[in-house]
Amino acid sequence: MLGKIRILFWITYGVWLAAFVVLPILLVLYQSLHDVHGRWTLENFFRFFSPVYLRMAGDSLWYAFWITFLSLVVAYPAALALVRLASRDFWLVALILPSWVNLLLKAYAFLGILSEHGPVNALVSLVGLGPVPLLFTDLGFVLVSVYIFIPFMILPIFNAVRAIPAELIDAARDLGASPLQVVRRVIWPLSLPGVRAGVQATFIPALSLFMITRLIAGNRVITLGTAIEQHFLVTGDWGMGSAIAVVLLLLMSASVIFARRSFFAAPVGGE
Partner 1 sequence: MWERTGGRLGKAYLVFVFFVLYAPILYLIAFSFNAGDTMYAWEGFSLDWYRELLNDERLLVIALNTLVIALASSILATVVGTAGALLIGMSEARRRRETLLLLNNVLLVSPDVQIGISFLLLFTLAGIALGEGSVLLAHVAFSVPIVVLMVLPQVEKMPKTLLDAAYDLGASHRDVLFRVILPYITPGILAGFFMALTYSFDDFAVTFFVTGGGFSTLPVEIYSRARRGVSLELNALSALLFLLSFAFAFGYYWIQRREMRPRSEARR
Of residues 156 through 175, those in contact with partner 1 by CB under 8 A are 166, 169-170, 173
Amino acid, res. 148: I
In the complex, what is the shortest distance from the CB of residue 262 to partner 1, in angstroms, rounded to a whole number? 21
- Establish if 100 lies at the interface with partner 1 (CB under 8 A): yes
For the chain, state the CA radius of gyration.
23
**Residue 11 or residue 52: which is nearer to partner 1 going by CB?**
11
Q: How many residues bind partner 1 (CB under 8 A)?
A: 88
In the complex, what is the shortest distance from the CB of residue 148 to partner 1, in angstroms, rounded to a whole number? 10
Contact, 200 vs 156, CB < 8 A?
no
**Residue 67 or residue 204: which is nearer to partner 1 going by CB?**
204
Of residues 24 through 53, those in contact with partner 1 by CB under 8 A are 24-25, 27-28, 31
**Residue 51 or residue 142: which is nearer to partner 1 going by CB?**
142
Site string for partner 1, 115-154 (x = CB under 8 A): x-xxx---------------------------x--xx---
- Establish if 214 lies at the interface with partner 1 (CB under 8 A): yes
Pick from 101, 129, 163, 265 the residue near partner 1 by CB under 8 A. Answer: 101
CB atoms within 10 A of CB 23: 11
In the complex, what is the shortest distance from the CB of residue 43 to partner 1, in angstroms, rounded to a whole number? 19
- Establish if 80 lies at the interface with partner 1 (CB under 8 A): yes
Residue 101 to residues 86, 96, 108, 192, 212, Cα–Cα distance (Å): 26, 10, 12, 28, 15
Amino acid, res. 228: I
Pick from 189, 211, 258, 266 the residue near partner 1 by CB under 8 A. Answer: 211
**Three-class SS of residue 40?**
strand
Contact, 211 vs 233, CB < 8 A?
no
Question: What are the φ and ψ backbone dihedral angles of 34, each rounded to 5 degrees?
Answer: -125, 145
Scanning 87-130, the segments in alpha helix (DSSP H) are 88-96, 103-113, 119-126
